[in-house]
Amino acid sequence: MSIKTTFSIRDLEHLSGIKAHTIRIWERRYHLFEPIRSDTNIRSYDQKNLQKLLNVVFLLDKGYKISKIAELSENDLYKITRELQINSDQPSQAMDNFKLSMLGFDRVLFDQTYFQLLEKNSFRDVFLKTFFPLLEEIGMLWLSKTITPAHEHFITNLIRQKLLIQTEKAQQLPKLHEQTFALFLPLNEIHELGLMFLHYELLVKGYNSIYLGQSVPMENLKDLQDIFDSITFVSYFTVEPALEFIPEYLKEFSDSILSPANEELHLLGRNAQEFSQDNSFPNILIHKNIENFLNTLN
């Protein structure tokens, strides 16, 4: 396969968190890598180099000295890393594997890593402690042009897929509460993984949860009030509405949807945080994070 597997030293820096300067020193001192040089003498690295570097970083975090690590054969390096990973609850290796799977569009590696992680962790932990940070980091990698949006699309779709499969299972669980939630994103907002995760959690807790998803115009929400006697709205503002329009949006929401029926809106997400200080609507509750919201349910 001709998947692009060469990386510049900058790419390595972005992917591993080790400064290019340091990588060069390790090369000189310990012969850790032997990058290929271009005609103009510029280093380039392959996927094996990247994997090795990620393993090195893992051992450094575990307290190994770089001089010791450098003495290990490739095989030992791999073996020791694996052993430590299995015995630790640190999902950091999983993070690295997910990154590698993304770079190589490698579905199989993604699945292997995921199922391994799921053996020891609940799906909730996998999502909150690995997928969420992973996505954040990917956002940064994308900004630094180490990866392309196609990479991001690929990995985001895989994560979404895992989440939906868990949701599908959660839908078979019995309903324990009367309360019905309606989950939606405001118009033009498409960042839905956070909201999808809330849907999953609500189902697990035995609530009736109606998932409406991306970009729902406000007037559509009124139709729900014809169908359900009482409904609690949940939304997740990442980039929409733009900060300056949030007060306006919430006022309209409160006036036209919440107040007449005396219902509540729970808000999460980055853009919602910005407004949490100034929130004066009694029916609108802004939560710091997902856990915070879930805690209010019990």
* Contact positions vs other proteins (CB under 8 A): 1-4, 105, 107-108, 148-150, 153-154, 156-157, 160-161, 164-165, 167-168, 171-172, 175, 184, 190, 208, 210-217, 219-221, 223-224, 226-228
**What's the distance, Cα to Cα, between the start and end of the chain in Å?**
51
Pairing of strands 208-216, 43-44: unpaired
CA atoms within 13 A on the CB side of 75: 0
3-state secondary structure of 44: strand
Pick 144 or 161: Cβ nearer other proteins: 161
Q: Say whether the peptide bond before residue 149 is cis (omega within 30 degrees of 0).
A: no
Nearest approach, Cβ of 81 to other proteins (angstroms)?
A: 26
Nearest approach, Cβ of 167 to other proteins (angstroms)?
A: 6
Pick 215 or 279: Cβ nearer other proteins: 215
Which residue, among 17, 154, 13, has the nearest Cα to 92 in the 3D structure? 17
Nearest approach, Cβ of 159 to other proteins (angstroms)?
A: 11
Nearest approach, Cβ of 92 to other proteins (angstroms)?
A: 26
Pick 59 or 198: Cβ nearer other proteins: 198
Q: Phi/psi at 44 (nearest 5 deg)?
A: -140, 145
* Structure token pair of residue 132: 């969420």
Q: Which amino acid is at 164?
A: L
Pick 55 or 97: Cβ nearer other proteins: 97
CA atoms within 13 A on the CB side of 46: 6
Nearest approach, Cβ of 235 to other proteins (angstroms)?
A: 13
Pick 221 or 268: Cβ nearer other proteins: 221
